[in-house]
Structure 1
Amino acid sequence: MNKPIPVFDGHNDTLLKFVLEKGTAQERSFFTKSGAGHIDLPRCLEGGLAGGLFAMFVPSNTGQDFSRPYNPADPANYAEVDQAVALNFTSAMIAMARKIERASQGQVRICRSAAEIRKAMEEGSLAVSLHIEGAEAIDKDFNALETLQAAGLRSLGPVWSRKNIFADGVPMAFPSSPDTGPGLTDTGMALVKACNDLGILIDLSHLNEKGFWDVARTSRHPLVASHSNAHAICASARNLTDRQLDAIRDTGGLAGINFHVAFLREDGRHDRTTPLETIARHAAYLVEKLGEDHVGLGSDFDGCMLPLDLKDVSGLPRLIDAFREAGFGEELIEKIAWKNWLDVLERTQSPSL
């Protein structure tokens, strides 16, 4: 069996999964292959996942029973989160990442720069780059931002699909334009500038359209949407319009393809029979709009409904085969799989970091 093409993935919710499962009947080891969730180390090795942005998302109700099916229509899932609660829960996810790194004996590394990611990948270690999805853990004075950056935070999405002190999140509505509410607050614009200064990538996924354009006017860095697809193919509010894609292209940014079936399908249905060629169709469209150097993968592993043919991270070689069947050459596949992500991370981080 040939070694799979390495993948650096722009978004997963694995740290959240492991924190929520801790102390429950569902608790498992990151180092044991499981049928639960989408990611563990054995399945990463099987599928070729060499690294990624590991998101730290704080649910609206951190005490709810997460063994029960998630209901996206429940308004309680979008309630505002207290900053102290969010910071404490984010700290638990950082601690989980550090414990996994320490127990891995070098098989997992928390990386603080693109250079460290490259070195980890070259040496066969899983490269973990810490990301915040929804900045509720950050206070208006950005003291927590300084602390979290020192702990390894290198990417941040100001919002999830709910409102906070920085901006309004876009609802996961279909069919819908992403133009759903007001843009960044003054504090949100200050957050963008602070992240620029600290070498923290700003992630546009989950921002509504006005927020997107506010970041475009405020940020000095390339525009990046870590896990969003083409609105022209799937008219979800979570996806990117052609005009937004033009802006990402013009700044030398990147869009990461989300594997969630409802963000892929023309009908927006939660249908796991969605073929992998649908992901390849989004990839082809994004390459056409952005150019081959500005498209990556942003799976949303452990936070989405995957196509059955993918199943979990071990299925990544089947997706690579779908790209080949769609006529993608090996050089383009490697760019989408990992090279483009490392390039944009390099360009958003200060040389001193």
Structure 2
Amino acid sequence: MNDTVPVFDGHNDILYRLLMAPEAREAIWLTGEGRGHLDLPRMRAGGFAGGLFAIYVPTPSTADADVDAIDALMDRPPYAVELPGQLALGPSQVVALEQAGHLMWMARASGGAFRLCRSAAEIEAARAEGVIAGVMHMEGAEAIDPACDALHAFHAMGLRSLGPVWSRPTAFGHGVPFRFPGDPDTGPGLTEAGKRLIATCNALRILVDLSHLNAKGFDDVARISDAPLVASHSNAHAVTPSTRNLTDRQLDAIRESGGLVGLNFATVFLRPDGRRDPAMGWEPVLRHLDHLIGRLGEDHVGFGSDFDGATVPQGIGDVAGLPRLIAALRAHGYDAGLIRKMAWDNWLSVLRRTWGG
């Protein structure tokens, strides 16, 4: 590593990039091919010391033209993005297994620079050795069957964090659609299978990620779960009224549970106008952090970048820009102790309390 502030990041989508271009994975991961937000050299340069690596099952019919059309909508709010329905279990499991394999390959191919970790103690040991810690996360439980048998299998592979939904419905609940302006109260709560999923995650000590879940589903998790409430990559609805952002009522519930919110770097969830344009200063980032800290307290806010899954502010650019973010936080008046909490300590604390040990 170097002398930059070490960062634990609550969400990234590099596994999706590898899924889309498996033939180029050595260039994408080991040397960097000049695109995307993450690769091993830039992670080391930027102080990225660990994070949750998301397994995400894309909609099979999604084409580049569809992505471009969604991006165009997000360039001109207001918008309401229509998303497809529930995906089939079998094909979703194939895709999820492929991405789990990519994550394991990343560790093998890194020459000891990157390690798959299953506990907070393993993450801390990796940091002490200058090794980047990767934790297997699932963004949307399309690959999990309603009986949760596959959950046990993925847990044995290293899965330690799971979001019941992306923005599509699953067998377990309903995600919020992408709307601006909008409110996260967009549909029904968890299904009976969803309630069983939360209980099984608690039993296995798998973190339940509330990002993307709608308001009634959030409330169901808060009522059922015995673990801290965590939203790995979400922002403040009071600052940017997107369906993906958390209301003050939700932030209060997270605080009361001893949980955490990871600040999402996606411009559409940071900018008060909801636009995707990366040409923005630090003010929206700082407004969200000020609000989150004011509502949650200093011990319950972290980072959840959404690198490789979103457009991020030009001031950050990619993972090598994390030191610029840290410098902006210092200039805003955050002291070294608070920055250390947000960058590393708060995530490790909530993971330790969720996983045990």
Common fold: TM-score over 0.5: yes
Does residue 183 (structure 1) correspond to residue 189 (structure 2)? The answer is yes
Amino acid at match of 2:275: R
- Matched residue SS, 2:179: coil
Change (3 A) 1:68 1:45: farther
Structure 2: runs of 5+ lacking an equivalent = 74-79
- 2:77 match: none
Contact between 2:81 and 2:178, CA under 8 Å: does it hold in 1?
no
- 2:98 match: 92
Contact between 1:21 and 1:28, CA under 8 Å: does it hold in 2?
no
Does residue 139 (structure 1) correspond to residue 138 (structure 2)? The answer is no
Alignment RMSD (CA, Å): 1.9
Amino acid at match of 1:34: E
- 2:213 match: 207
- 1:245 match: 251
Does residue 294 (structure 1) correspond to residue 300 (structure 2)? The answer is yes
Change (3 A) 1:211 1:233: same
- Larger deviation: 14-23 or 207-216? 14-23
Does residue 259 (structure 1) correspond to residue 265 (structure 2)? The answer is yes
- Larger deviation: 141-150 or 78-87? 78-87
Question: What is the TM-score when the length of structure 1 is the normalising length?
Answer: 0.95
- Matched residue SS, 1:78: coil
Change (3 A) 1:320 1:134: same
Determine the C-alpha separation between the residues in 1 that align with 2:264 and 2:28: 26
Does residue 336 (structure 1) correspond to residue 335 (structure 2)? The answer is no
Determine the C-alpha separation between the residues in 1 that align with 2:111 and 2:295: 42
Determine the C-alpha separation between the residues in 1 that align with 2:69 and 2:133: 32
Contact between 2:81 and 2:177, CA under 8 Å: does it hold in 1?
no
Once the two structures are TM-superposed, the CA of residue 276 in structure 1 deviates from its matched residue by 2.5
Contact between 1:58 and 1:86, CA under 8 Å: does it hold in 2?
yes
Question: Quick check: which one's helix share is greater?
Answer: 2
Once the two structures are TM-superposed, the CA of residue 246 in structure 1 deviates from its matched residue by 0.4
Contact between 1:21 and 1:27, CA under 8 Å: does it hold in 2?
no
Does residue 41 (structure 1) correspond to residue 47 (structure 2)? The answer is no
Contact between 1:222 and 1:248, CA under 8 Å: does it hold in 2?
yes
2:224 to 218, 227, 232: 218
- 2:160 match: 154
- 1:15 match: 15
- Larger deviation: 29-38 or 186-195? 29-38
Once the two structures are TM-superposed, the CA of residue 60 in structure 1 deviates from its matched residue by 1.1
Once the two structures are TM-superposed, the CA of residue 69 in structure 1 deviates from its matched residue by 4.5
- Matched residue SS, 2:261: strand
Once the two structures are TM-superposed, the CA of residue 277 in structure 1 deviates from its matched residue by 3.0
Once the two structures are TM-superposed, the CA of residue 279 in structure 1 deviates from its matched residue by 1.2
Measured against aligned partners, the alpha-carbon deviations of 1:104-135 in whole angstroms (never above 9, x if no partner) come to 12111000011101111111111000000000
Once the two structures are TM-superposed, the CA of residue 64 in structure 1 deviates from its matched residue by 4.9
Does residue 164 (structure 1) correspond to residue 162 (structure 2)? The answer is no
Does residue 58 (structure 1) correspond to residue 65 (structure 2)? The answer is no
Once the two structures are TM-superposed, the CA of residue 50 in structure 1 deviates from its matched residue by 0.5
Contact between 1:272 and 1:308, CA under 8 Å: does it hold in 2?
yes
- Matched residue SS, 1:161: coil
Aligned length: 349
Measured against aligned partners, the alpha-carbon deviations of 1:81-122 in whole angstroms (never above 9, x if no partner) come to 111111110100111011111111211100001110111111
- Larger deviation: 78-87 or 63-72? 63-72
- Matched residue SS, 1:293: helix
- 1:119 match: 125
- Matched residue SS, 1:28: helix
Once the two structures are TM-superposed, the CA of residue 335 in structure 1 deviates from its matched residue by 0.4
Determine the C-alpha separation between the residues in 2 that align with 1:33 and 1:95: 19
- Matched residue SS, 1:34: coil
Contact between 1:78 and 1:161, CA under 8 Å: does it hold in 2?
no
Measured against aligned partners, the alpha-carbon deviations of 1:58-80 in whole angstroms (never above 9, x if no partner) come to 0011x655598544369785332
Change (3 A) 1:58 1:76: farther
Determine the C-alpha separation between the residues in 2 that align with 1:69 and 1:177: 23
Structure 1: runs of 5+ lacking an equivalent = none
- 1:78 match: 84
- 1:193 match: 199
Q: Which runs of 4+ in 1 moved over 6 A?
A: 73-76
Determine the C-alpha separation between the residues in 2 that align with 1:4 and 1:215: 36
Amino acid at match of 1:56: I
Contact between 2:279 and 2:313, CA under 8 Å: does it hold in 1?
yes
- 1:315 match: 321
Determine the C-alpha separation between the residues in 1 that align with 2:83 and 2:39: 26
Amino acid at match of 1:90: A
Determine the C-alpha separation between the residues in 1 that align with 2:305 and 2:208: 18
- Matched residue SS, 1:144: helix
